[in-house]
């Protein structure tokens, strides 16, 4: 079932979740199964699975020399999506990136996802690569998320690279939104203009970057509506677990944390998990009361705190 259909048919605010493939060779797939099985009693409508491009690693050899190696640390997105959908009967949303992938590789991956019955993707630019990826003469790339959305939209019309003969492939596409502005956008207006371009190109819903101040989300939704963006805008929520995230979350995700939350975490860092859980619970309660279509949890594969929150709303 398409995410857009889940949203249009919902009688109340939905919950969705995002998981991360385990590090290569470090954790068995059963860990992912365990997370999904813990979510099953709460009727998850869909689960997102992140995608990760390869990165450059410096490896020390046995003779003491250093060599460079291109390494994909978190493979398995397509396989996990297949398991979620075909083993557990939950719709899977595969993340698809511009960075680190050519249009040809993207097309191949989308055809394979379609073969597995996956109907939903989240189209993202992705993080910048830490190496200069060489593109073959016969390859092309998507520079921005809107380019990726346009490529997928062409596949809906049966238009493939190099006139490949294949039946039309129709994915329900989501894209990212940024209530506190994407760090590469010059201002909020341009931030919203970029989103409008993605929706005009074929995106059917938006999942926001994490935020900790609901007023910023609703102000963002109002600004998007004023700009003519009418697709569902799903708030993304992260549950803080440690006081160290006071530094890591703003640095990695370019967001602000409210003064009240920061003050609590600074005063009682040993109680960070409880503080974070209660803050997120208050956010979720307010989002539901004010009519958010869905609440999307960035699990980072730590499901326990989220389960404690969602059980109060089922």
Categorize the per-residue pLDDT at 64 as very low, low, confident or very high, splitting at 50, 70 and 90.
very low
Provide CB contacts within 8 A for 9, sequence distance 6+.
none
How many helices (DSSP H) and strands (DSSP E) are in the chain? 11, 10
Categorize the per-residue pLDDT at 138 as very low, low, confident or very high, splitting at 50, 70 and 90.
low
Categorize the per-residue pLDDT at 55 as very low, low, confident or very high, splitting at 50, 70 and 90.
very low
Provide CB contacts within 8 A for 106, sequence distance 6+.
96, 142, 148, 151
Rounded Cα–Cα distance for residues 151 and 107 (Å): 8
CATH of domain 3-313: 3.20.20.220
Q: Is the dihedral of CA 121, 122, 125, 130 positive or negative?
A: negative
Predicted confidence at residue 301, as pLDDT, reads: 78
Average pLDDT over residues 80-85: 92
Percent with pLDDT over 90 in the chain:
68
73: pLDDT strictly greater than 70: no
Predicted confidence at residue 65, as pLDDT, reads: 43
Predicted confidence at residue 205, as pLDDT, reads: 98
Categorize the per-residue pLDDT at 59 as very low, low, confident or very high, splitting at 50, 70 and 90.
very low
Among 157-161, 202-206, 270-274, the least confident range = 157-161
Categorize the per-residue pLDDT at 177 as very low, low, confident or very high, splitting at 50, 70 and 90.
very high
Predicted confidence at residue 16, as pLDDT, reads: 97
Cα-based torsion angle of the residue sequence 166, 89, 293, 277 in order, rounded to the nearest 10 degrees? -130
CA-closest candidate to residue 77, choices 126, 44, 41: 126
Predicted confidence at residue 62, as pLDDT, reads: 55
Among 18-22, 34-38, 67-71, 285-289, the least confident range = 67-71
Instruction: Read off the pLDDT of residues 91-135 as tens digits, 9 standing for 90 and up.
Output: 999 999 988 788 998 999 999 999 999 999 999 987 654 435 556
Among 49-63, 140-154, 258-272, the least confident range = 49-63
299: pLDDT strictly greater than 60: yes
5: pLDDT strictly greater than 70: yes
307: pLDDT strictly greater than 70: yes
11: pLDDT strictly greater than 70: yes
Question: Per-domain residue ranges for the chain?
Answer: 3-313
């Amino acid at each position: 079932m398409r995410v857009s259909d889940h949203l249009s048919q919902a009688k109340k605010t939905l919950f969705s979740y995002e998981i991360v493939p385990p590090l290569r060779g470090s954790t068995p797939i059963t860990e992912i199964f365990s997370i999904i099985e813990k979510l099953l009693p709460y009727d998850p409508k869909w689960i997102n699975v992140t995608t990760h491009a390869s990165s450059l690693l410096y490896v020390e050899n046995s003779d003491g020399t250093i060599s460079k190696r291109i390494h994909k640390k978190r493979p398995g997105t397509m396989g996990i999506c297949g398991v979620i959908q075909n083993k557990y009967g939950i719709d899977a949303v595969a993340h698809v990136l511009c960075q680190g992938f050519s249009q040809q590789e993207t097309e191949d991956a989308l055809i394979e996802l379609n073969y597995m019955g996956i109907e939903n993707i989240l189209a993202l630019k992705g993080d910048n690569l830490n190496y200069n990826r060489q593109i073959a003469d016969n390859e092309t790339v998507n520079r921005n998320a809107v380019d990726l959305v346009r490529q997928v939209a062409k596949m809906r019309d049966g238009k493939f690279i190099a006139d490949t003969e294949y039946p039309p492939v129709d994915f329900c596409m989501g894209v990212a939104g940024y209530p506190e502005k994407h760090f590469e956008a010059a201002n909020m207006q341009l931030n919203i203009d970029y989103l409008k371009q993605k929706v005009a190109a074929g995106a059917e819903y938006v999942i926001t970057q994490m935020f900790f101040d609901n007023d910023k989300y609703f102000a963002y939704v109002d600004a998007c509506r004023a700009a003519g963006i009418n697709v569902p805008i799903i708030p993304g929520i992260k549950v803080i677990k440690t006081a160290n995230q006071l530094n890591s979350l703003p640095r990695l995700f370019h967001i602000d944390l409210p003064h009240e939350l920061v003050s609590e975490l600074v005063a009682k860092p040993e109680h960070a998990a409880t503080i974070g859980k209660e803050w997120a619970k208050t956010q979720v309660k307010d989002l539901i009361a004010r009519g958010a279509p869905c609440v999307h949890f960035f699990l980072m594969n730590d499901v326990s705190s989220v389960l404690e929150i969602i059980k109060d709303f089922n």
